[in-house]
Amino acid sequence: MRKIKIFDTTLRDGEQSPGASMNVDEKIQVAKQLVKLGVDIIEAGFPIASPGDFDAVKRIANEIRGATIAGLARAKEEDIKRAWEAVKDAPQKRIHTFHSTSDIHLKYQFRVSREEALKRSVEMVKLARSLVEDVEFSPMDATRTDTRYLLEVVEAVIEAGAGTVNIPDTVGYTTPSEFGALIRAIKEKIGDRAVISVHCHDDLGLSVANSLSAVLNGAGQVECTVNGIGERAGNCSMEEVVMALKTRRDFFDADTDINTKEIIRTSRLVTRITGIPVQPNKAIVGANAFAHESGIHQDGLLKEKMTYEIMRPEDIGLQQTELVLGKHSGRHAFKTRLKELGYELSPNEIETAFMKFKHLSDQKKYIFDEDIETLVSEEVSKGYELYSLIDMSTSGGIDQKPVAAVKIKIGDEIFDRMERGDGPVDATYRAIAALTDTKSNLLKFEVKSITGGTDALGEVLVTLEENGRTVRGHGADTNIIIAAAKAYLNALNKLAARKK
């Protein structure tokens, strides 16, 4: 089985996504995670692009161990020397240099002949090779380059010292069969004299397919980014190509050294740092990638996971499959969720609750566990209110820490307490928590306006967790602090009703 090298360019091409710029510390953080992930090469940046980029590449080269550190350089002497200065302290280092080869680039952008482009490429590869042993060359816009000329360039740069030749689909133009044929032609020409790498963009949504086609035809390295971020529509998605090779090793006869259990952690780190969200239906790392709502699918999964899942969520670092209850869900999933929530109901009770659930799911987009519990326990909790708000007031100012005085009824008795907090809501919740002696944790606090104007009716929704179970509380009032108190007590009453 062939080993495919993973060349991660999240810190270089990925950072070129609009709004995705990272500072030096953030790049170090991502680089450390990429080592945990197990990538072979980290393209740390474009050293000549800016002082900040140079500093980032240099620090990564100095601090990161466990992967080859590459710096990108145009086929220019000053670029290559700058890249060398940035990566020279890395135990494993690479200079990645490039020059366009397509006629459209040579004519309109560089305004040089094919002969001049070839000469520059060879000279700069020789210069890079005099500085480092590991040199990679990319004929930019290779997929729109005349094939004969491309083969001539590839052979020349290998002769000059390039150990890796990268064939970029710079503008996402090619197709899997076309690209596969090109890689096969290059492989037949150069044999094992150099590693063939591919760098595919996603302008037509084919970057992963093109990269996998290249692997089938002799490529030994895939250049990609976490979450597929990058120029324009992005790059080949690292997690997708890795999991395709892992899941279909029988077909590709190839795999990587990626620790796939670190995929979801890496994806979330890049999302947090760049601020670029992952679409819910994205393969592998999207929120819905291991979520199922269809009743047929849920029934099959509950009987045997392989019926509708070709990968285990644990393989990428997730805990488990998520069965999303909604209008498409069936009885099997509903009964399973009831059992998970601790309910043992008779067949008739299950059927009644299921019909109520179906009616509710036609009205609501998302069905929470609390909704289900309300359906099956509304008779138990009907009219049951252990805690009720009698009175409350808050005070504070710019230089005075807020104070809340709360009076509540617990059963048949009335209690009051005063607490300070970071804000009026915090002070109020501290007082209520002390009075009720709750062991619950506040997971979520949401505020929204129900009506308009300065006298708007405000609504507060809270989510509490206790012993692994969650409840949602609701409160409304023109005074948002009172609404917050009502929401908290409403949630505590639901916990108390459940215990009862």
Question: Does residue 286 sit within a domain?
Answer: no
Task: Give counts: helices (H), strands (E), the chain.
Answer: 17, 18
Q: Are residues 93 and 213 in the same domain?
A: yes
**β-strands 41-45, 5-8: how paired?**
parallel
Q: Are residues 132 and 21 in the same domain?
A: yes
43/11 Cα distance (integer angstroms): 6
CATH at residue 420? 3.30.160.270
Question: Does residue 182 sit within a domain?
Answer: yes
Q: Are residues 374 and 391 in the same domain?
A: no
Q: Are residues 399 and 479 in the same domain?
A: yes
Q: Could you give the number of structural domains in the chain?
A: 3
CA atoms within 13 A on the CB side of 409: 8
Helix 480-499 to helix 369-381 angle, to the nearest 10 degrees?
A: 70
What integer pLDDT is reported at residue 460 of this predicted model? 86
What integer pLDDT is reported at residue 18 of this predicted model? 77
Q: Are residues 102 and 247 in the same domain?
A: yes
Q: Are residues 319 and 362 in the same domain?
A: yes
CATH at residue 187? 3.20.20.70
Q: Are residues 160 and 118 in the same domain?
A: yes
What integer pLDDT is reported at residue 80 of this predicted model? 98
278/453 Cα distance (integer angstroms): 36
291/298 Cα distance (integer angstroms): 10
Question: Does residue 285 sit within a domain?
Answer: no
Q: Are residues 325 and 261 in the same domain?
A: no
Question: At 33, phi and psi to the nearest 5?
Answer: -70, -35
Q: Are residues 366 and 420 in the same domain?
A: no
Q: Are residues 194 and 102 in the same domain?
A: yes
Q: Which of 347, 307, 341, 306 is nearest to 325 (CA)?
A: 341
Q: Are residues 304 and 238 in the same domain?
A: no
Tell me the pLDDT tens digit for each residue of 197-218. 999 999 999 999 999 999 999 9
Q: How far is CA 97 from CA 62, 71, 76, 78, 133, in A?
A: 21, 8, 9, 12, 13
Tell me the pLDDT tens digit for each residue of 6-58. 999 999 999 888 778 888 989 999 999 999 999 999 999 999 999 989 999 99
Q: Of the candidates 381, 406, 430, which is a domain's last residue?
A: 381
Q: Of the candidates 274, 305, 339, which is a domain's last residue?
A: 274
Q: Of the candidates 381, 403, 423, which is a domain's last residue?
A: 381
pTM score of the predicted model: 0.67
**Domain enclosing residue 242, as ranges:** 2-274
Which regions in the chain score pLDDT beneath 50?
292-293, 301, 308, 321-323, 378-382
Question: Does residue 412 sit within a domain?
Answer: yes
Residue 371 near residue 470 (C-beta atoms within 8 A):
no
Q: Are residues 264 and 361 in the same domain?
A: no
Residue 212 near residue 241 (C-beta atoms within 8 A):
yes
Question: Does residue 280 sit within a domain?
Answer: no
Contacts for 475 with CB less than 8 Å, ≥ 6 apart: 459, 460, 482, 483, 484, 485, 486, 487, 488, 489, 490
Question: Does residue 456 sit within a domain?
Answer: yes
What integer pLDDT is reported at residue 325 of this predicted model? 62
